[in-house]
Amino acid sequence: MGHRRRGVCPEVVVLQLDPVVPADTDALFELLSDPAGWWFDPAGRHRDTATTRRWVERAAARWESDGLSYWTARLPATGEVVGVGGAQRHRSGVWNLYYRVAVAHQRNGHALELGRAGIDAAHAADPARPVVAWVAEHNHPSRRVAERLGLRLHGLHVDAADGAVRLAYADRPLQDAPPG
């Protein structure tokens, strides 16, 4: 059963959010392999469906192990996949906030909707843990989304998922020290 969020206008359902499942692999590969969507980190782009399949399998397994993970975001009227995101338990124990929207559907508030749904779900699942959006310094659109979600910039931190140094936008102060 999908999770529906209301958009800016309370009478309009903007996205249908369904837990990521293996059947979403092809649609998510299209989204996660689009070079235009990875301008800020070309190396992060999925180059084959096997990469996306593994990513989807991990995300789907987190629903079982943690009770929360990422959603596939669809337009309710058509079922078209326009994004993926939500909150997933991070290696460090915090909630990782993720929002990715297909280039053709950006600037419609979908990233904000995914982000808000992820924050709300993380707070409901485990309110003791911070929610963190790890953002590349030069990814200004993602930084604006994090700020509009009410997350505060806590400087550069090491992202335990891959060891990269990124900006940490969080809903509260973080316990780890910024990098050197």
* Ordered DSSP codes for 92-145: TSSEEEEEEE-GGGTTSSHHHHHHHHHHHHHHHH-TTS-EEEEE-TT-HHHHHH
Confidence band (pLDDT; 50, 70, 90) for 20?
very high
The predicted pLDDT at position 5 comes to: 44
Confidence band (pLDDT; 50, 70, 90) for 67?
very high
Q: Does some domain include residue 12?
A: yes
Q: Does some domain include residue 175?
A: no
Of 119 and 2, more confident: 119
Confidence band (pLDDT; 50, 70, 90) for 42?
confident
The predicted pLDDT at position 13 comes to: 47
Report the domain count for the chain.
Answer: 1
CATH number for the domain spanning 147: value is 3.40.630.30
Of 179 and 163, more confident: 163
The predicted pLDDT at position 9 comes to: 42
The range of the structural domain enclosing residue 135 comes to: 3-170
**Of 132, 82, 76, 86, which is closest to residue 108 (Cα–Cα)?**
82
pLDDT digits (tens, 9 = 90+) for 117-176: 999 999 999 999 999 999 999 999 999 999 999 999 999 998 888 888 999 999 999 876
* Euclidean distance between CA atoms 177 and 155, whole angstroms: 10
Q: Does some domain include residue 160?
A: yes
The predicted pLDDT at position 12 comes to: 44
pLDDT digits (tens, 9 = 90+) for 82-115: 999 999 998 888 999 999 999 999 999 999 999 9
Q: Does some domain include residue 179?
A: no
